[in-house]
């Protein structure tokens, strides 16, 4: 590893998440405070491979803390997955003297950073930027709180029309491999059932519950489904329910990429700022190849390979809460 990090590159990789801009701003301004030269790498690892690297100063990150998306853009790069591609990326960093990296993204981005650092002795710091909250070593990921609040706002509005028509609404939220958005938004909106990838769904129990509630004249029902649920999302769940409850008035609403956009919440801006600041501090004090997280409101540092290998697990008590509160 370099004895002293003096030139730092920052990139955003994988799926975008609200708060990435706040993290970029914190990284750049903290680096400038410590007299480091700062560089923005456009479109993630693609920009590193294709030599789209720009110098950044304080003005580069002005007026972005409130913006969703990422000013650095993001993409996935097949070339970086090869040793030849990473060699080209390293040459592009080397000719600018960049000797430290901050990677804002999810576990796929961290895998790339870990491999790259091992091959070329460049210290890397990961910041968990993903709406799914599916990375171990942090209580929250950048963008999760905004995505959940977006889902809650949408589901609240859906409940209004469900109540007006006595309908069953099945709402699909993002979460291909993790059910945290479904779990949090479902509890917060009073959903009768929440279907997530981490828990096996008993569709017969689900239909039985809905039938019992119909007998009790509970005509407004909401089911929140993570897109990665074992049945394949809201449309498939709807088909199964309609087959077993042919008289039910069922509607499906897929929230989709609306959950990725929008201004980040206060919480996402705060954690992104704290993490971005800490990332630079880590590079300068010799704490390398870690993911910066926040656990119990304190900064927490997880080796990148652990952050990649481990996943957050959902406490079964959360699912018990859903059943009790939805009665």
44: left (phi > 0), else alpha (psi -120 to 50), else beta?
left
**Rounded Cα gap, residues 214 and 160, in angstroms:** 18
Kind and range of the H or E element at 149?
helix 144-165
305 catalytic? Reply is no
Q: What token pair was written down for 7? A: 């030139």
Of 307, 310, 311, 325, residue with least CA distance to 103: 307
Contact (CB, 8 A) for 3 and 286: no
Contacts of 185 (CB under 8 A, 6+ apart): 148, 151, 152, 155, 173, 191, 224
Query: What Cα–Cα distance (Å) separates residue 322 from each residue in 30, 194, 251?
Result: 42, 7, 21
Of 208, 179, 205, residue with least CA distance to 194: 179
Q: What token pair was written down for 217? A: 């004249």
Residue of 16, 107, 132, 134 marked catalytic: 132
11: left (phi > 0), else alpha (psi -120 to 50), else beta?
beta
Task: Name residue 237's beta-bridge partners.
Answer: none
Q: What token pair was written down for 203? A: 């569709």
Of 113, 139, 143, residue with least CA distance to 125: 113
Contact (CB, 8 A) for 304 and 139: no
Q: Which residue has the tokens 């591609």?
A: 85
DSSP symbol at 101: E
- Please list the active-site residues: 132
């Amino acid at each position: 590893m370099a004895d002293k990090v003096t030139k730092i590159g920052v990139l955003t990789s994988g799926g975008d998440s609200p708060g990435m801009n706040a993290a970029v701003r914190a990284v750049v301004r903290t680096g400038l405070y410590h007299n480091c030269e700062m560089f923005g790498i456009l479109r993630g690892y693609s920009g590193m491979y294709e030599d789209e690297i720009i110098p950044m100063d304080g003005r580069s990150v002005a007026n972005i803390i409130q913006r969703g998306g990422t000013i650095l853009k993001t993409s996935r790069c097949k070339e970086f997955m090869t040793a030849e591609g990473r060699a080209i990326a390293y040459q592009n960093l080397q000719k600018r003297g960049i000797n430290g990296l901050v990677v804002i993204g999810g576990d796929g981005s961290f895998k790339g950073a870990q491999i790259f650092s091992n091959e070329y002795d460049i210290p890397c710091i990961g910041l968990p930027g993903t709406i799914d909250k599916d990375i171990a070593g942090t209580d929250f990921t950048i963008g999760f709180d905004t995505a959940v609040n977006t889902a809650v706002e949408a589901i609240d509005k859906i409940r209004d029309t469900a109540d007006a028509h006595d309908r069953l609404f099945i709402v699909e939220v993002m979460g291909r491999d993790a059910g945290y958005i479904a779990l949090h938004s479902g509890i917060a909106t009073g959903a009768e059932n929440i279907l997530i990838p981490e828990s096996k769904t008993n569709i017969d129990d689900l239909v039985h519950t809905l039938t019992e509630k119909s007998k009790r004249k509970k005509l407004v029902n909401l089911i929140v489904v993570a897109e990665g649920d074992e049945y394949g999302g809201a449309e498939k769940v709807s088909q199964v329910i309609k087959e077993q409850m042919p008289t039910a008035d069922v509607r499906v609403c897929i929230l989709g990429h609306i959950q990725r956009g929008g201004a980040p919440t206060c919480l996402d801006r705060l954690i992104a700022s704290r993490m971005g600041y800490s990332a630079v501090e880590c590079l300068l004090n010799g704490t390398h190849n870690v993911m910066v997280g926040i656990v119990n409101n304190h900064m927490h540092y997880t080796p990148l390979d652990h952050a990649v290998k481990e996943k957050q697990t959902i406490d079964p008590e959360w699912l018990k809460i859903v059943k009790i509160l939805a009665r």
